[in-house]
Amino acid sequence: MMRCRLLLHSAVFGFGLLISLRADIAIHWSGPAGEPYWTKGDEPLGSSFVWELGAFKDDFQPSRRNFDQWAAYWVPLDRVAHDEVGGGFARTTTLRENSNPFTANGRAYIWGYALRGESDWVLLKSDAWTWPDLSDSLSFPRFWQAQTAQTVVGEMDPDGNPFFLRTERFRADPPRVYADDWLTAVFSDNDLDDPAISEWDRDPDGDGWTNLVEMGLGTNPLVSEAERRDAVVIAYDRVADGHHLRVEVKRNPMVTARIQVAFSVDRTNWSTAAEEVEILEDRADRLVVRDRFAIEALGKRFARVEVVLQD
Protein backbone atom coordinates (compact mmCIF):
# COMPACT_ATOMS: atom_id res chain seq x y z
CA MET A 1 0.00 0.00 0.00
CA MET A 2 1.40 3.36 -0.97
CA ARG A 3 1.56 5.91 1.83
CA CYS A 4 1.44 9.67 1.60
CA ARG A 5 2.49 11.86 4.48
CA LEU A 6 2.18 15.58 5.04
CA LEU A 7 4.73 17.29 7.26
CA LEU A 8 3.63 20.53 8.91
CA HIS A 9 6.12 23.07 10.18
CA SER A 10 4.93 26.23 11.90
CA ALA A 11 6.64 29.39 12.99
CA VAL A 12 5.19 32.52 14.63
CA PHE A 13 6.28 35.93 13.39
CA GLY A 14 4.67 38.81 15.34
CA PHE A 15 0.98 38.15 15.36
CA GLY A 16 0.91 35.96 12.27
CA LEU A 17 1.17 32.19 11.77
CA LEU A 18 3.23 30.96 8.85
CA ILE A 19 2.58 27.39 7.81
CA SER A 20 4.82 25.69 5.26
CA LEU A 21 3.87 22.41 3.67
CA ARG A 22 6.08 19.62 2.36
CA ALA A 23 4.40 16.64 0.74
CA ASP A 24 5.51 13.43 -0.85
CA ILE A 25 4.40 13.33 -4.48
CA ALA A 26 2.76 10.37 -6.21
CA ILE A 27 3.98 9.51 -9.69
CA HIS A 28 1.68 7.34 -11.81
CA TRP A 29 3.71 5.81 -14.66
CA SER A 30 2.39 3.38 -17.20
CA GLY A 31 2.36 1.86 -20.66
CA PRO A 32 -1.01 1.19 -22.29
CA ALA A 33 -2.60 -2.22 -21.88
CA GLY A 34 -3.86 -4.20 -24.83
CA GLU A 35 -1.07 -3.02 -27.13
CA PRO A 36 1.58 -5.23 -28.78
CA TYR A 37 4.98 -4.99 -27.09
CA TRP A 38 7.65 -6.89 -29.01
CA THR A 39 11.25 -7.91 -28.58
CA LYS A 40 13.75 -7.19 -31.32
CA GLY A 41 13.10 -10.76 -32.42
CA ASP A 42 9.39 -9.90 -32.93
CA GLU A 43 8.23 -11.98 -29.98
CA PRO A 44 5.81 -10.71 -27.30
CA LEU A 45 7.39 -9.40 -24.11
CA GLY A 46 6.91 -11.73 -21.14
CA SER A 47 6.81 -11.21 -17.39
CA SER A 48 10.60 -11.55 -17.22
CA PHE A 49 10.78 -8.14 -18.91
CA VAL A 50 10.79 -5.35 -16.32
CA TRP A 51 10.21 -1.61 -16.43
CA GLU A 52 12.07 0.76 -14.13
CA LEU A 53 11.38 4.39 -13.34
CA GLY A 54 14.58 6.18 -12.48
CA ALA A 55 17.32 8.62 -13.43
CA PHE A 56 20.99 8.72 -14.40
CA LYS A 57 23.36 10.18 -11.84
CA ASP A 58 26.19 12.66 -12.36
CA ASP A 59 24.38 14.38 -15.25
CA PHE A 60 25.00 11.36 -17.47
CA GLN A 61 23.21 11.64 -20.84
CA PRO A 62 22.28 8.21 -22.23
CA SER A 63 22.57 7.58 -25.95
CA ARG A 64 23.17 4.74 -28.39
CA ARG A 65 26.86 5.64 -28.40
CA ASN A 66 27.34 5.12 -24.66
CA PHE A 67 24.84 2.30 -24.00
CA ASP A 68 27.61 0.20 -22.42
CA GLN A 69 27.89 2.78 -19.60
CA TRP A 70 24.20 3.09 -18.72
CA ALA A 71 24.19 0.51 -15.94
CA ALA A 72 27.01 2.29 -14.09
CA TYR A 73 25.01 5.53 -13.86
CA TRP A 74 21.45 4.25 -13.55
CA VAL A 75 19.55 4.65 -10.25
CA PRO A 76 16.04 3.12 -10.21
CA LEU A 77 13.26 4.55 -8.06
CA ASP A 78 10.79 1.73 -8.65
CA ARG A 79 10.27 -1.37 -10.78
CA VAL A 80 7.33 -3.33 -12.20
CA ALA A 81 7.15 -6.49 -14.30
CA HIS A 82 5.58 -6.39 -17.76
CA ASP A 83 2.03 -7.73 -17.84
CA GLU A 84 2.34 -10.55 -20.36
CA VAL A 85 -1.40 -11.28 -20.22
CA GLY A 86 -2.95 -7.83 -20.55
CA GLY A 87 0.08 -6.14 -22.01
CA GLY A 88 1.68 -2.95 -20.76
CA PHE A 89 2.55 -1.92 -17.23
CA ALA A 90 1.22 0.40 -14.55
CA ARG A 91 2.64 1.52 -11.23
CA THR A 92 2.24 4.28 -8.66
CA THR A 93 5.45 5.41 -6.99
CA THR A 94 5.97 7.96 -4.23
CA LEU A 95 8.86 10.40 -4.43
CA ARG A 96 9.86 11.17 -0.83
CA GLU A 97 13.03 13.25 -1.26
CA ASN A 98 14.88 15.18 -3.92
CA SER A 99 18.18 13.39 -3.37
CA ASN A 100 20.56 12.88 -6.29
CA PRO A 101 19.69 11.91 -9.00
CA PHE A 102 16.01 12.67 -8.29
CA THR A 103 16.68 16.39 -7.94
CA ALA A 104 13.91 18.89 -8.57
CA ASN A 105 13.31 19.42 -12.29
CA GLY A 106 15.83 16.73 -13.22
CA ARG A 107 14.95 14.38 -16.07
CA ALA A 108 13.20 11.07 -15.40
CA TYR A 109 13.36 7.98 -17.62
CA ILE A 110 11.61 4.65 -17.97
CA TRP A 111 14.03 1.84 -18.80
CA GLY A 112 12.65 -1.53 -19.83
CA TYR A 113 14.93 -4.55 -20.06
CA ALA A 114 14.88 -8.35 -20.01
CA LEU A 115 15.69 -10.16 -16.78
CA ARG A 116 16.88 -13.16 -18.77
CA GLY A 117 17.76 -14.16 -22.29
CA GLU A 118 18.78 -11.55 -24.84
CA SER A 119 19.66 -7.99 -23.76
CA ASP A 120 16.48 -6.39 -25.11
CA TRP A 121 16.12 -2.76 -24.00
CA VAL A 122 13.75 0.18 -24.32
CA LEU A 123 14.54 3.62 -22.90
CA LEU A 124 11.83 6.29 -22.81
CA LYS A 125 11.96 9.99 -21.98
CA SER A 126 9.75 13.05 -22.26
CA ASP A 127 10.32 16.76 -21.77
CA ALA A 128 7.37 16.65 -19.36
CA TRP A 129 8.98 13.97 -17.19
CA THR A 130 10.87 15.99 -14.60
CA TRP A 131 11.09 15.26 -10.89
CA PRO A 132 8.75 17.42 -8.82
CA ASP A 133 10.14 19.89 -6.31
CA LEU A 134 9.08 18.56 -2.91
CA SER A 135 9.72 21.91 -1.28
CA ASP A 136 7.01 23.46 -3.46
CA SER A 137 3.69 23.23 -1.65
CA LEU A 138 1.90 23.53 -4.98
CA SER A 139 3.51 20.41 -6.48
CA PHE A 140 0.93 17.97 -7.76
CA PRO A 141 0.89 14.23 -8.68
CA ARG A 142 2.50 13.28 -11.97
CA PHE A 143 0.99 11.08 -14.68
CA TRP A 144 3.67 9.80 -17.03
CA GLN A 145 2.48 7.63 -19.90
CA ALA A 146 4.67 5.77 -22.39
CA GLN A 147 2.53 6.82 -25.35
CA THR A 148 3.51 10.46 -24.76
CA ALA A 149 7.24 9.71 -24.66
CA GLN A 150 10.09 9.57 -27.13
CA THR A 151 12.43 6.61 -27.44
CA VAL A 152 16.13 6.92 -26.72
CA VAL A 153 16.43 3.31 -27.81
CA GLY A 154 13.62 1.13 -29.11
CA GLU A 155 10.90 1.75 -31.65
CA MET A 156 7.42 3.14 -31.03
CA ASP A 157 4.33 3.25 -33.21
CA PRO A 158 1.49 5.03 -31.34
CA ASP A 159 -1.00 3.40 -33.70
CA GLY A 160 0.14 -0.05 -32.60
CA ASN A 161 0.66 -1.29 -36.14
CA PRO A 162 2.29 -3.76 -36.15
CA PHE A 163 3.62 -3.01 -32.64
CA PHE A 164 3.32 -0.28 -30.05
CA LEU A 165 6.85 -0.73 -28.70
CA ARG A 166 9.70 -2.90 -29.92
CA THR A 167 12.99 -3.31 -28.11
CA GLU A 168 16.51 -2.93 -29.38
CA ARG A 169 19.17 -5.53 -28.63
CA PHE A 170 22.56 -4.68 -27.15
CA ARG A 171 25.76 -6.39 -26.12
CA ALA A 172 26.36 -4.73 -22.78
CA ASP A 173 26.12 -5.39 -19.07
CA PRO A 174 22.51 -4.88 -17.92
CA PRO A 175 21.52 -3.16 -14.68
CA ARG A 176 22.34 -5.18 -11.59
CA VAL A 177 19.28 -6.70 -9.93
CA TYR A 178 19.37 -7.38 -6.20
CA ALA A 179 17.76 -10.52 -4.86
CA ASP A 180 14.67 -8.90 -3.34
CA ASP A 181 14.14 -6.92 -6.54
CA TRP A 182 14.26 -10.13 -8.57
CA LEU A 183 11.55 -11.64 -6.37
CA THR A 184 9.38 -8.56 -6.80
CA ALA A 185 9.83 -8.59 -10.56
CA VAL A 186 9.08 -12.30 -10.96
CA PHE A 187 6.34 -13.02 -8.42
CA SER A 188 2.94 -11.41 -7.95
CA ASP A 189 2.01 -9.75 -4.66
CA ASN A 190 -0.02 -12.83 -3.71
CA ASP A 191 2.92 -15.12 -4.47
CA LEU A 192 5.28 -12.94 -2.44
CA ASP A 193 2.94 -13.29 0.53
CA ASP A 194 3.05 -17.09 0.23
CA PRO A 195 6.37 -18.50 1.52
CA ALA A 196 5.53 -21.87 -0.04
CA ILE A 197 5.96 -20.20 -3.42
CA SER A 198 8.46 -17.38 -3.06
CA GLU A 199 10.98 -18.51 -0.42
CA TRP A 200 14.43 -19.15 -1.85
CA ASP A 201 14.36 -22.88 -1.14
CA ARG A 202 10.96 -23.42 -2.81
CA ASP A 203 10.31 -24.86 -6.25
CA PRO A 204 6.91 -23.54 -7.42
CA ASP A 205 7.16 -24.97 -10.96
CA GLY A 206 8.23 -28.41 -9.71
CA ASP A 207 11.20 -28.74 -12.05
CA GLY A 208 13.69 -29.62 -9.31
CA TRP A 209 15.35 -26.20 -9.21
CA THR A 210 14.77 -23.87 -6.28
CA ASN A 211 14.00 -20.19 -6.73
CA LEU A 212 17.57 -19.36 -5.73
CA VAL A 213 18.99 -21.56 -8.47
CA GLU A 214 16.52 -20.21 -11.01
CA MET A 215 17.58 -16.65 -10.18
CA GLY A 216 21.27 -17.42 -10.42
CA LEU A 217 20.95 -19.22 -13.75
CA GLY A 218 18.40 -16.83 -15.27
CA THR A 219 15.54 -19.28 -15.72
CA ASN A 220 11.85 -18.79 -14.94
CA PRO A 221 10.78 -20.17 -11.52
CA LEU A 222 7.13 -20.30 -12.57
CA VAL A 223 7.56 -22.31 -15.77
CA SER A 224 9.17 -25.74 -16.00
CA GLU A 225 11.40 -25.13 -18.99
CA ALA A 226 12.96 -27.72 -21.24
CA GLU A 227 15.68 -25.23 -22.20
CA ARG A 228 16.80 -25.03 -18.59
CA ARG A 229 18.82 -28.18 -19.26
CA ASP A 230 21.16 -26.06 -21.36
CA ALA A 231 21.85 -23.85 -18.35
CA VAL A 232 24.08 -26.55 -16.82
CA VAL A 233 26.11 -28.97 -18.93
CA ILE A 234 28.25 -31.72 -17.39
CA ALA A 235 30.78 -33.48 -19.59
CA TYR A 236 34.16 -35.22 -19.41
CA ASP A 237 37.58 -33.98 -20.43
CA ARG A 238 40.16 -36.63 -21.19
CA VAL A 239 43.62 -35.57 -20.05
CA ALA A 240 46.85 -37.44 -19.37
CA ASP A 241 45.82 -39.04 -16.07
CA GLY A 242 42.25 -39.92 -17.02
CA HIS A 243 38.75 -38.42 -17.31
CA HIS A 244 37.91 -35.19 -15.45
CA LEU A 245 34.43 -33.78 -14.93
CA ARG A 246 33.82 -30.46 -16.71
CA VAL A 247 30.85 -28.28 -15.72
CA GLU A 248 29.54 -25.41 -17.86
CA VAL A 249 27.06 -23.00 -16.23
CA LYS A 250 25.09 -20.18 -17.82
CA ARG A 251 25.01 -17.32 -15.34
CA ASN A 252 22.37 -14.65 -15.03
CA PRO A 253 24.61 -11.57 -15.44
CA MET A 254 21.93 -9.25 -14.02
CA VAL A 255 21.75 -10.53 -10.47
CA THR A 256 23.99 -10.02 -7.46
CA ALA A 257 24.55 -13.69 -6.71
CA ARG A 258 27.70 -15.78 -6.78
CA ILE A 259 27.74 -18.96 -8.86
CA GLN A 260 30.24 -21.65 -7.96
CA VAL A 261 30.79 -25.35 -8.64
CA ALA A 262 31.70 -27.86 -5.95
CA PHE A 263 33.08 -31.40 -6.31
CA SER A 264 32.76 -34.38 -3.99
CA VAL A 265 33.69 -38.02 -3.80
CA ASP A 266 30.90 -39.02 -1.41
CA ARG A 267 28.12 -36.36 -1.86
CA THR A 268 28.65 -35.40 1.79
CA ASN A 269 31.84 -33.38 1.76
CA TRP A 270 31.90 -30.77 -1.00
CA SER A 271 34.78 -28.54 -2.01
CA THR A 272 35.09 -25.34 -4.04
CA ALA A 273 38.79 -24.95 -3.21
CA ALA A 274 41.26 -24.16 -5.98
CA GLU A 275 43.06 -27.41 -5.16
CA GLU A 276 40.04 -29.29 -6.53
CA VAL A 277 38.36 -26.82 -8.91
CA GLU A 278 40.14 -25.54 -12.00
CA ILE A 279 38.46 -22.48 -13.52
CA LEU A 280 38.61 -22.59 -17.32
CA GLU A 281 36.30 -19.65 -18.08
CA ASP A 282 34.88 -17.01 -15.75
CA ARG A 283 32.59 -14.44 -17.40
CA ALA A 284 29.55 -12.51 -16.24
CA ASP A 285 27.26 -14.80 -18.23
CA ARG A 286 29.21 -18.06 -18.17
CA LEU A 287 31.31 -20.21 -15.83
CA VAL A 288 33.29 -23.27 -16.93
CA VAL A 289 35.26 -25.36 -14.44
CA ARG A 290 37.03 -28.72 -14.41
CA ASP A 291 37.65 -31.18 -11.61
CA ARG A 292 41.36 -31.46 -10.88
CA PHE A 293 40.96 -35.12 -9.86
CA ALA A 294 40.52 -37.85 -12.42
CA ILE A 295 37.61 -40.21 -11.93
CA GLU A 296 39.98 -43.16 -12.37
CA ALA A 297 42.05 -41.97 -9.39
CA LEU A 298 39.17 -41.80 -6.90
CA GLY A 299 36.68 -44.24 -8.38
CA LYS A 300 33.82 -41.73 -8.55
CA ARG A 301 33.22 -37.97 -8.54
CA PHE A 302 30.15 -35.79 -8.14
CA ALA A 303 29.54 -32.16 -9.07
CA ARG A 304 26.95 -29.62 -8.02
CA VAL A 305 26.21 -25.98 -8.84
CA GLU A 306 25.84 -23.63 -5.87
CA VAL A 307 24.16 -20.20 -5.89
CA VAL A 308 25.11 -17.90 -3.03
CA LEU A 309 23.20 -14.72 -2.20
CA GLN A 310 25.24 -11.54 -1.99
CA ASP A 311 24.40 -8.10 -0.66
Burial class (CB in 10 A: 0-12, 13-18, 19+), 133: middle
CATH number reported for the structural domain that contains residue 223 in this entry: 2.60.40
State the total domains in the chain. Answer: 2
Reported as a pLDDT band with limits 50, 70 and 90, residue 81 is confident
Note whether 10 and 154 are same-domain residues: yes
DSSP one-letter code for 226: G
Do residues 228 and 279 both lie within one domain? yes
Query: Residue 116: pLDDT above 70?
Result: no
Q: Is 94 domain-assigned?
A: yes
- The length of the chain in residues reads 311
Q: Does the residue 181 lie in any domain?
A: no
Whether residue 18 is predicted with pLDDT greater than 60 in this model: the reply is no
What domain range includes position 51? 6-175
- pTM for the structure as a whole: 0.57
Of the listed ranges 101-105, 264-268, 284-288, the one predicted with least confidence: 284-288
215 and 171 in a single domain? The answer is no
**How many angstroms from the chain centroid is the CA of residue 250?**
17
Q: Which of 145, 175, 205 is the last residue of a domain?
A: 175
Confidence band, pLDDT 50/70/90 cuts, at residue 177:
confident
Q: What is the pLDDT of residues 215-253, one digit of tens each?
A: 998 888 988 865 566 789 999 999 999 999 999 998 887
**Domain's final residue, options 175, 203, 226:** 175
Q: What is the pLDDT of residue 13?
A: 29
Q: Please give the pLDDT value at position 93.
A: 92
User: Does residue 231 fall inside a structural domain?
Assistant: yes
Mean pLDDT of 124-132: 97
Helix, strand or coil for residue 310?
coil
Within-domain flag for 188: no
Could you tell me if 278 and 231 lie in one domain? Answer: yes
3-state SS of the chain: helix, strand, coil percent to 5? 15, 40, 45
* Largest Cα span, the chain: 95
